[in-house]
Amino acid sequence: MSEHHHGHDHGHDHHHHDNHFTDMEARVKALETVLTEKGLIDPAAIDAIVETYETKVGPRNGACVVAKAWSDPQFSDWLKRDATAAIASLGFAGRQGEHMRAVFNTPETHNLVVCTLCSCYPWAVLGLPPVWYKAPPYRSRAVIDPRGVLAEFGLELPVEKKIRVWDSTAELRYLVVPERPVGTEGLSEEELADLVTRDSMIGTGLALSREVAR
Amino acid sequence: MNGPHDLGGQHGLGPIAPEKDEPYFHAEWEKRALGVTLSCGAFGAWTIDESRHARESLPPTTYLSASYYEVWTRALQALLKRHGFLTQAELDAGHMLEKGTEPKRTLRAEMVADVLAKGGPCDRPIATPPRFAAGERVRTKNFNPETHTRLPRYARAKIGVVEAVQGSFVFPDDNAHGKGENPQWVYTVVFDGGDIWGDGADPTLTVSIDAWESYLERA
């Protein structure tokens, strides 16, 4: 690493950094090496899995579902009745999206999704979950102090708005359909999808207004 | 299991701290950990329920201080050893020392797209009709098994209302321990925030869980 030779000597050997693995780097590397030597895993399969979730399966899938539900009342009804089939009709299915349920925000009720027991999350429509979704602070507080949780996301709901928390304790995976922002009549599904954030489909945010999205 | 994973309602775990424009991975090893875990899942040697139980069985200090992919990795090591695919000596050496268990299948790169697209549906038909109907009041059972369960502690011995019958699914409490899939009906049960958290609960709050039939009795 040539940038280590700029003459500022901190009194320890910078060259060691090239070979310095953290505990987890070393642990995972050992695991992958042993399993590869045994023929149990294919490193190229791991590359393919990572590529899938980095480039193919992400929140845009869910945003397309929501945009279609906003634009097409028939699809919206189908999504309410049988989210798994309705979502699959758009080509989004598979691991951690085998059994889907869509829950719709209304003027009266805001929906929030959590998995207090692990980190159940609808991968097929939202991709891999963010760190905070999987971490103890969110998992502990979403069910007991949802307003406090939402405030940390910068979302202050009116006091009279009811909060419905869905604890994903079985194999059903939840997709929140946020309310359609006002002033979005005439937008295409593609333009509407730009307003749908990942957080709005978990319930820790709202859909963006047209102005903010610009 | 009353393990460190059963977090609903616990206090003192700190702020949530959402990260703006969060990347999918925070380190290269996390990518490998995800891929290795999914690849080993494809062996068909254990169920998702057994792997969840392996994670919640980590020592609480480890579970609560580890990042998520660290939890996955440590639990995966335990599963691989338990099922004879590798030994601790091999993990220590970082190399294969002996032949281990033969898996039912291994995941090759060309199979990845199909396997991810297919997922692992766990709905199963059952012959008996559902015992409860939407609108019925139910009480969750009070139990504290040391084994795996998906009834969170905060929702035990509580009265709620069945909102929907969701279908019949593999029963994780058995399936995690090699006792078979034994599918049961699953219900969405809604609780009033005050019935769960008592005084001081948000008056507008309702919380629901998805509960297997054997978690419930008529109220």
Residue-wise pLDDT for B65-114, tens only, equals 999 999 999 999 999 999 999 999 999 999 999 999 999 999 999 999 99
What values do phi and psi take at A41, rounded to 5? -130, 160
Q: What are the structure tokens assigned to B57, written together? A: 């069985």
Q: Is the pLDDT of residue B9 over 70?
A: yes
Closest chain B CA to residue A32: B36
Domain identity same for B99 and B164: no
Asked if the C-beta of A81 comes within 8 angstroms of chain B's C-beta atoms, the answer is no
Q: What is the CATH number of the domain that holds B97?
A: 1.10.472.20
Which 3 state secondary structure label does DSSP give B146?
Answer: coil
**Is residue B21 a part of any domain in this protein?**
no
Domain identity same for B108 and B45: yes
Residues 6+ apart with CB under 8 A from B35: A45, A46, A47, A49, A50
Which 3 state secondary structure label does DSSP give B187?
Answer: strand
Q: CA Rg, chain B, in Å?
A: 20
Going by C-alpha positions, the residue among A115, A194, A196, A199 that lies closest to residue A154 is A199
Where a domain ends, among B54, B85, B118? B118
Q: Using DSSP bridges, classify how beta strands A100-104 and A173-177 pair: parallel, antiparallel or unpaired.
A: parallel
A146, B202 in Cβ contact below 8 A? Answer: yes
Contacts of A170 in chain B (CB under 8 A): 150, 166, 169, 186, 210-212
Domain identity same for B150 and B114: no
What share of chain A in percent tops pLDDT 90? 86
> Rounded to whole angstroms, how far apart are CA atoms B152 and A140?
11
Residues 6+ apart with CB under 8 A from A72: none
- What integer is the mean pLDDT of B170-176? 98
Domain identity same for B47 and B110: yes
**Is residue B107 a part of any domain in this protein?**
yes
Q: What are the structure tokens assigned to A3, written together? A: 């940038």
Residue range A166-210, pLDDT digits in tens: 999 999 999 999 999 999 999 999 999 999 999 999 999 999 998
pTM of the complete model: 0.94
Q: Which of residues 23-52 of B touch A (CB under 8 A)?
A: 24-29, 31-36, 38-40, 43, 52
Q: Which of residues 87-126 of B touch A (CB under 8 A)?
A: 90-96, 99-100, 103, 106-109, 111-113, 115-123
Question: Which pLDDT score, from 0 to 100, does residue A16 have?
Answer: 41
Q: What is the CATH number of the domain that holds B194?
A: 2.30.30.50
A124, A92 in Cβ contact below 8 A? Answer: yes
Q: Nearest CA to CA, how far is A14 from chain B (Å)?
A: 21
pLDDT level of residue A18 (50, 70, 90 thresholds): very low
- What integer is the mean pLDDT of B9-20? 94
**Is residue B67 a part of any domain in this protein?**
yes
**Is residue B165 a part of any domain in this protein?**
yes
- What integer is the mean pLDDT of B150-161? 98
Please count the structural domains in chain B.
2
Domain identity same for B53 and B88: yes
Active-site annotation of A, residues: 115, 118-120
Residue B82: CB atoms within 10 A of its CB come to 12
Tokens 């999987």 belong to which residue?
A134
pLDDT level of residue B64 (50, 70, 90 thresholds): very high
Residues 6+ apart with CB under 8 A from A43: A32, A36
Tokens 């969060």 belong to which residue?
B22
A:B CB pairs within 8 Å: 265
Q: Which of residues 174-203 of B touch A (CB under 8 A)?
A: 186, 188, 196-197, 201-202
Question: Which pLDDT score, from 0 to 100, does residue A21 have?
Answer: 61
Give the nearest partner residue to A170 out of B34, B196, B210, using CB atoms: B210
- What integer is the mean pLDDT of A93-102? 93
Domain identity same for B212 and B142: yes
| Per-residue burial over B204-215, b = 16 or more CB atoms within 10 Å of its CB, e = otherwise | bbbbbbbbbbbb
**Is residue B11 a part of any domain in this protein?**
no
Domain identity same for B141 and B188: yes
Q: Nearest CA to CA, how far is A11 from chain B (Å)?
A: 27
Q: Is the pLDDT of residue A13 over 50?
A: no
**Is residue B17 a part of any domain in this protein?**
no
Asked if the C-beta of B163 comes within 8 angstroms of chain A's C-beta atoms, the answer is no
Q: Nearest CA to CA, how far is A117 from chain B (Å)?
A: 5
Give the nearest partner residue to A132 out of B7, B16, B169, using CB atoms: B16
Give the nearest partner residue to B116 out of A38, A94, A141, using CB atoms: A94
A34, B38 in Cβ contact below 8 A? Answer: no
Give whole-number Cα distances, A188 to A74, B19, B129, in Å: 17, 30, 44
Domain identity same for B113 and B143: no
Closest chain B CA to residue A93: B117
Mean pLDDT, chain B, as a whole number?
A: 97
- What integer is the mean pLDDT of B164-171? 98
Where a domain ends, among B85, B118, B151? B118
Domain identity same for B49 and B101: yes
Going by C-alpha positions, the residue among B147, B24, B3 that lies closest to residue A50 is B24
Contacts of B28 in chain A (CB under 8 A): 25
**Domain encompassing residue B104:** 28-118
Domain identity same for B106 and B144: no
Residue range A26-80, pLDDT digits in tens: 999 999 999 999 999 999 999 999 999 999 999 999 999 999 999 999 999 999 9
- What integer is the mean pLDDT of B178-183? 98
- What integer is the mean pLDDT of B147-151? 98
**Is residue B19 a part of any domain in this protein?**
no
What values do phi and psi take at A127, rounded to 5? 80, -160
Q: What does DSSP assign to residue B159?
A: E
Domain identity same for B106 and B32: yes
Asked if the C-beta of A40 comes within 8 angstroms of chain B's C-beta atoms, the answer is yes
Where a domain ends, among B90, B118, B146? B118
**Is residue B124 a part of any domain in this protein?**
no
Half-sphere exposure of B88 (CA within 13 A, CB side): 3
Domain identity same for B53 and B99: yes
